[in-house]
Homo-oligomer: A and B are copies of this chain.
Amino acid sequence: MNNSHRMASGTPLPNIDQTPAPQTFEAWKQAVLHGTELTLQHTLPASNETPARLHEAMRYAVLGPGKRVRPLLCHAAGEAVAARCPALNVVAAALEMMHVYSLVHDDLPAMDDDDLRRGRATVHVQYDEATAILVGDALQAQAFITLSQAPVSAACQVLLIRELAIAVSSTGMVGGQMIDLSSIDAELDIAQLEHMHRMKTGALIHASVRMGALCAETTQENLDRLDRYANAIGLAFQIVDDILDATADTATLGKTAGKDAKNHKPTYVSMLGLKRSRQLAQQLGEQAQQALTTLPGRTDPLHGLVDLVINRLH
């Protein structure tokens, strides 16, 4: 086993920094996406490493298209408390690996059974079901390898690892997927629906914000402000997802549209209607913005991400 302070691919981590800080939100976003992509490229095992088919499938699942909402939130929260960029790139890559593993498993025939994701064939369609299960399993492990090599103190590494592990556990993301699967044809009230979403997508979005901030070892007050931001934007993200599933087409979404209604799944749209769902998303966006007072660093990326999440088209 390789225990040196290096990435699993065997070469030292590139020092991807972004100086000077880009001025506009769009330039900031492009810089973060570029840093995330380079770090993912570097952190995932090479596609010619044995077993090549597995590594090729892991890279197929992770690299390329993707909104990278969690890496963006991680960087934005980190910059709001003056965290250093090299650590944020590594943490953002771990978050994206974890998110992609959940997509690969959720798309499996025994789960949501979908064949389109990010505008391409899902992993079990492009490869096969066994490979897709193993891709997800390996990406979860790779996320923890990556965090165990983040350029922060050991104490901070453990905080990051614990935060992520709890967020994706049976009381977080995986538990939310379990509830979601059993909600088909079930009568949920709005509180139960919110609880499910806070676990299924909210927990990892929440962790993305917190982990960015943890890189700077910031104050509890700042973490509390970012918690409020994360809770609001996490729920807003899911409501917009429900709205898009009901209103956008498959080509725009890059994944199958109209699935919730077809599967008789309760959603914000089915329970509140389109108009009230849109109002609720807007209100949550305002709550998120209001949480961003008196943070020590740059907050315009966190503000920009509220607009991006609320007004996104896919």
- Give A contacts to B, CB under 8 Å: 1-3, 8, 45, 49-51, 53-55, 58, 101, 105, 108, 110-111, 128-131, 133-134, 136-138, 140-142, 144-145, 148-149, 153-155, 157-159, 161-163, 165-172, 174-175, 177-179, 181-182, 203, 206-207, 210
Q: Are B175 and A54 touching (Cβ within 8 A)? A: yes
The answer on a CB contact under 8 Å between B1 and A203 is yes
Interface-central residue, A131, A174, A203, by most chain B CB under 10 Å? A174
* Contact indicator B129/A110 (Cβ below 8 Å): yes
Chain B residue with minimal CB distance to A52?
B178
Q: Give the complex CA separation of A161 and B160 in angstroms.
A: 12
Task: Give the secondary structure class of A's interface.
Answer: helix
Contact A110 B130 (CB under 8 A): yes
Q: Which residues of B contact A108 (CB under 8 A)?
A: 133
A170 touches B51 (CB 8 A): yes
A128 to B8: give the CA distance in the assembly, Å: 34
A179 engages B140 (CB within 8 Å) = no
Q: How far is the CB of A188 from chain B (nearest CB, A)?
A: 13
In contact, A145 and B165 (Cβ under 8 angstroms): yes
CA distance A204 to B245 in the complex (A): 42
B148–A161 touching, CB < 8 Å: yes
**B161 contacts A210, CB within 8 Å?**
no
Which of B2, B162, B178 has a CB less than 8 Å from the CB of A51?
B178
A-B residue pairs, 4 tightest by C-beta: A110-B129, A138-B170, A148-B162, A144-B165
Cβ B133 vs Cβ A133 within 8 A: yes
The answer to whether A1 and B163 have CB atoms under 8 Å apart is yes
Complex: A210 Cα to B148 Cα, angstroms? 17
A166 near B137 with CB under 8 A, answer no
A182 touches B53 (CB 8 A): yes
Contact B158 A141 (CB under 8 A): no
Which chain B positions have C-beta within 8 A of A110?
Answer: 128-130, 133
Taking a contact as CB atoms under 8 Å apart, the answer to whether A170 and B142 are in contact is: yes
